[in-house]
A and B are shown apart, each in its own frame.
Chain A
Amino acid sequence: MYRVMIIDDEQSARNLLKISVNWKDLSMEIAGEAASGIEAINIIDEVRPHIAFVDISMPFMNGIEFTKIATERYPDLMIIILTAFDDFEYARQCIRLPVFDYMLKPIVREDILENLKKVKAILDSKNISEEADSSEDVDGESSIEQIKKYINDHYDDSSLNLTSVAQEFCFSSSYLSRKFKQEAGVNFIEYLTSCRMKKAMEIATTGQKMFNAAQAVGIPDPNYFGKCFKKHTGKSYSEYQAELKSGD
């Protein structure tokens, strides 16, 4: 099964793409979706997609910025740019990135299917297997401590994720993921998010607006930030702030 990720700020556009293709027939599955480039960067290491549909016009981190980062970190990722006509020529002119194809919205199922078949053929020929980790047991514990410190120093970098840290420390991302869980007891992304949320809670006490807090902790997409905040604290940012006030 090849994993597919859809990155588009419109829920309906994501839904439409999901239902307009019979993914099983192509031995593909929708492994994850993101409403912005920021969210995509945060979850991509969990989703580990083979194929990504990317919209260009998204707030906070547009499809081009995302594609730049993604092609650098995931050289095997097959990216299909899916964009509205307004941005299409612009996309063609300014991206010289190794994306698989550009497609126009509104989507035509036949074209999508055709492209996916081509992608599948390429992926099949590459004979992608879940890469077995070479058990590079490099003094795990102290490295993980260093990484934790690195995260605490760089949490405000919105492009930070498992792969970028792994590349920074010269590990394979899967090794780092496993090792991190083993040593720290939590997922890398969970650790990173909780680190950011702790910081956000501090910021909330100063009465800052949510979008400012989001910016400050490296999740400039306030929608995704809100989601994370609620997941972490059980309350929305404004509720949290209100409680703080009434607690005073």
Chain B
Amino acid sequence: MKKRAKSSRMFLTIRKNSLTTGMWFVLFSAFLIFSIVFVLSLLAVVRETRNNNEMRESETVINSVAGNIHANIDNYKDLSRLIMLNKQVTTFLRADTVDSGIINDTKYGIMDVLNVSVNLDSVFIIRNDGFYASTGRGEYDISFIMMDSEEWLTPITEKRGGAILLTNAGGAIHRKSGIQLITIARAIYDIYTQKQTGILLMNISTKMLDRVAIAGGNSSVCIADPNGLALAGDKSLADYFLPNQPTEQIINREIQENGKHRMISTYTFDNIPLTIICSTSSNSFQLSKTTILVLASMFIVFAFAMFASSYFVVTKINKPLFELASAMEKTKESGWIEEINMDIPENEIGTLVNSYNSMIQYMNDLFLRLIDKEKSIQRAEMRVLHEQIKPHFLYNSLGTISYMAYDAGATNVYNALETLGNFYRNFLSKGDREITVKREITIIKDYLSLQKLRYGDILTDEYDIAPEILDLNVPKLMLQPLVENCIYHGIRPKGEEGIIKITGKLKDNDIILSVYDSGVGMSEEEINRVLSGERAVPEGENPLPSGFGLRGTIDRIRYYCGSDDVVQINSVEGEYTEITIRIPAKAKENGEDDV
């Protein structure tokens, strides 16, 4: 009982654990999912912010670089105008005949302007007739053939004096040292005649850009020509050059390289043959304080909500459920189906308790009804059994058949049926436990005469009963099983006709009854076995209940007398067996004898 209680308590603990574990599992998963989502969104926010910052920075850099370039170019444009208006230059252009003196004067005139700026590389003044004056800081390859071509000239003349910007004079002039040149080209018109007199090509060294291509902070900048050739700044950025990029637009690209992140912004001028490439990469996550505050408070609120809900589940659901289960278990252990008395608020669990209790009540009612029903069924069955035990039907049928036999002249059948009816009447004898010796002897006589009918004349029966014991009471069916034993285990195995002799006498107020048969007899061993109540044969081997009648009867007599020393067996093997019973004499209690 103790052990059982312990095991059931263990069972409860396990169940509680599993419920709690489940809850914790759910909570933990929810927390994990939330954390992952939180971190992911945080990363997205951080990234977005960083990209925005980088783009802003890039744009700032590009705008400033572009502004500088514009300003410089404007300066050079002003200078070119100055050259155009230079006295020597106009003279050169108006001169009908050109000689080396004029050209030299022109060169000096240009030189004055050239000296103003270090990065002003060279100036070419080309008359319509092909004469030209030039000043420069180096040696140049000049392609006059190109300059004569329509496609080279047209863009310049179309502007009617306006400046256009070219690289290396549109391919016509290259400095031998390899320095790239930005050319301001414009057609020159005579002030008076308003006719085009020549073309001005002013080459600016791209070294000018070195001063401009400066970026601060996390950015680096590169200025490239329209072919993607880096001219100034961080030359490695030329790799990110985009050909055919729309002009006057900043294009941002996010690039991951060797695990490093950078923002590449490119900008191409509309009228200047240059592209600015800017790279920004900021390594620090910079979040605004507000963002951090909002995120942190969100996290705290969520964690608190989680804790609060689990606390609620544990105190309001888990614990009452556990208590309820314990109460039910206790009811089960007690072995009684009882209602549960628990202090539980009137919520769903309270309803559960009430439902359980009403179910218990219903079950108890049901059990009571079942028990009542079972009892009445039992009573009915007892009546039926009683009817069956009273074998009126058997007796009546036997009577009818007896008459039929008698009527047909079969007297032997009539006699047999009569004996059988008589045997059963005495055998059942109204269910009494005790009968008189006289009736027991009658039973044996009937029994033996019926057995003789079955097996032929294999035996003769003799009776020697003292008249004074005939009316004394003995346990019913005490001798009959012994006689049966005589036939089956004494006489039949011998194969010879045998004698069964019943004697009865009174001695010292005890009834002495003995059953004798001239059968095969019993060995000492067999006698001991029967008297000690052991099984005659080992179990499983020939389990026909052969010796049972004898042993059962001996047990019954011993029980009746309250003593073991009431049965005695004498035998000589191959000669006879005699079983003697000694029981205290009892006066016959009731006067009736016949049924």
Residues of A within 8 A of B (CB): 9-12, 57, 59-60, 62, 65, 87, 90, 94, 209-212, 214, 221-223, 225-226, 238
Q: Which residues of B contact A214 (CB under 8 A)?
A: 495
Does B461 sit at the interface, judged by CB under 8 A?
no
Chain B residues contacting A87 (CB-CB under 8 Å) are 544
CB<8 Å pairs between A and B, sample of 17: A9-B455, A10-B455, A11-B455, A11-B456, A12-B453, A65-B542, A87-B544, A90-B543, A90-B544, A210-B496, A211-B493, A211-B494, A212-B574, A214-B495, A222-B493, A223-B495, A225-B495
- Proximity string of chain B (456-489) to chain A, C-beta cutoff 8 Å, 1 when within and 0 when not: 1000000000000000000000000000000010
A241 CA to B542 CA in the complex, in Å? 34
Instruction: Report the minimal beta-carbon distance from A245 to chain B, rounded to whole angstroms.
Output: 17
B: contact size bracket: 10 to 19
Q: Are A222 and B454 interface neighbours, CB within 8 A?
A: no
User: In the bound complex, what is the Cα–Cα distance between A9 and B492 (angstroms)?
Assistant: 11
Beyond the given A90-B543, A214-B495, A222-B495, could you list 12 further A-B residue pairs with CB under 8 A, ordered by the A residue number? A10-B454, A12-B453, A12-B454, A59-B488, A59-B493, A60-B493, A62-B542, A209-B494, A211-B493, A211-B574, A223-B495, A226-B496
- Which of B495, B543, B544 meets A57, CB within 8 Å? B544
The answer for the CA separation of A226 and B496 in the assembled complex, in Å, is 9
Question: Please, what's the 1-or-0 string for B491-521, where 1 marks a CB less than 8 Å from any CB in chain A?
Answer: 0111110000000000000000000000010
CB neighbours (8 Å) of A209 from chain B are: 494, 520, 574
Q: Known: A10-B454, A10-B455. Contact between A211 and B543, CB under 8 A? A: no
Q: Which residue of A lies closest to B521 (CB)?
A: A209
The number of A-B residue pairs with CB atoms under 8 Å apart is 43
Residue of A nearest to B496 (CB): A210
Which residues of A have CB within 8 Å of B495? 210-211, 214, 221-223, 225-226
Contacts of A10 in B (CB 8 A): 454-455
Q: Which residues of B have CB within 8 Å of A9?
A: 455
Q: With a CB–CB cut-off of 8 A, which chain B residues contact A212?
A: 574
A116 to B514, CA, bound (A): 48
Contact A210 B454 (CB under 8 A): no
Contact residues of B between 556 and 587, Cβ < 8 Å to A: 574
- Which residues of A have CB within 8 Å of B493? 59-60, 211, 222
Nearest residue, chain A, Cβ from B488: A59
A210 to B455, CA, bound (A): 19
> How many angstroms from the CA of A94 to the CA of B493 in the assembled complex?
24
CB distance from B496 to the nearest CB of A (A): 6
Chain B residues, CB < 8 A from A223 = 495
Inter-chain contact B544/A59, CB cutoff 8 Å: no
Q: Return B543 CB to nearest CB of chain A, in Å.
A: 7
A94 to B539, CA, bound (A): 12
- Give 1 or 0 for each of B513-557: 1 = CB within 8 Å of chain A CB: 000000010000000000000000000001110000000000000
1/0 per position for B241-275, CB-CB distance to A under 8 A? Answer: 00000000000000000000000000000000000
Residues of A within 8 A of B454 (CB): 10, 12
Check if B456 sits within 8 Å of A222, measured CB to CB.
no
Question: How many angstroms between the C-alpha atoms of A22 and B574 in the bound complex?
Answer: 44
CB distance from B181 to the nearest CB of A (A): 118
- Nearest chain A CB to B450 CB, angstrom units: 11
Q: In the assembled complex, which residues on chain A have CB atoms less than 8 Å from the CB atom of B542?
A: 62, 65
**What distance in Å separates the Cβ of A65 from its nearest Cβ neighbour in chain B?**
8
* CB-based nearest A residue for B454: A10
Contact status of A222 and B496, CB under 8 A, knowing A59-B488, A87-B544, A90-B543: yes
Inter-chain CA distance A59–B491, complex, in Å, is 11
How far is it, in angstroms, between the C-alpha of A238 and the C-alpha of B496 when the chains are bound? 9
In the complex, are the beta carbons of B520 and A211 less than 8 A apart?
Answer: yes
Chain A positions within 8 Å of B453 at CB level: 12
Give B520 Cβ to nearest chain A Cβ, in Å: 6
**Cα–Cα, bound, A12→B493 (Å):** 19
CA distance A222 to B497 in the complex (A): 11
Least CB separation from A209: chain B residue: B574
Complexed CA–CA distance, A11 and B493 (Å) = 16
Residues of A within 8 A of B488 (CB): 59
Distance, CA A210 to CA B574, complexed state (A): 9
A226 CA to B455 CA, complexed, in Å: 16
Task: Give chain B nearest CB distance to A204 CB in angstroms.
Answer: 14
A12 CA to B61 CA, complexed, in Å: 132
Alpha-carbon distance between A56 and B387 when the two chains are bound, in angstroms: 32
Question: Can you name the residue of chain B whose Cβ is closest to the Cβ of A222?
Answer: B495
Which residues on A sit within 8 Å (CB–CB) of B455?
9-11
A59 to chain B, nearest CB (A): 5
Closest 10 pairs (CB-CB, A-B):
A222-B495, A209-B574, A223-B495, A211-B494, A59-B492, A226-B495, A10-B454, A211-B495, A211-B520, A59-B493
Give the residues in chain A near B492, CB-CB below 8 Å. 59
User: Once the chains are docked, how many angstroms separate the CA of A60 from the CA of B455?
Assistant: 16
Chain B residues near A210 (CB-CB < 8 A)? 494-496
1/0 per residue, CB under 8 A from A, across B274-293: the answer is 00000000000000000000
* Complex Cα gap A178–B177 (Å): 139
A185 to B495, CA, bound (A): 32
A215 to chain B, nearest CB (A): 10
**Chain B residues closer than 8 Å to A59, beta-carbon distance:** 488, 492-493
Across the interface, B543 reaches (CB within 8 A) one of A11, A94, A225, namely A94
Within 8 Å CB of A225, what residues of B?
A: 495
Give the complex CA separation of A65 and B544 in angstroms: 12
Q: Give Cα A214–Cα B492 distance, bound, in whole angstroms.
A: 13
* Complex Cα spacing A221 to B496, Å: 11
When distances are taken between beta carbons in the complex, the residues of chain A under 8 Å from B456 are 11
B391 to chain A, nearest CB (A): 16
What chain B residues lie within 8 Å of A226 (beta carbons)?
495-496
* A222, B494: Cβ atoms closer than 8 Å: yes
Closest chain B residue, CB of each to CB of A225? B495
A58, chain B: closest CB distance, angstroms: 10
Bound-state CA distance A222–B520 (Å) is 11
A221 to B492, CA, bound (A): 9
Closest A residue to B453 using CB positions: A12
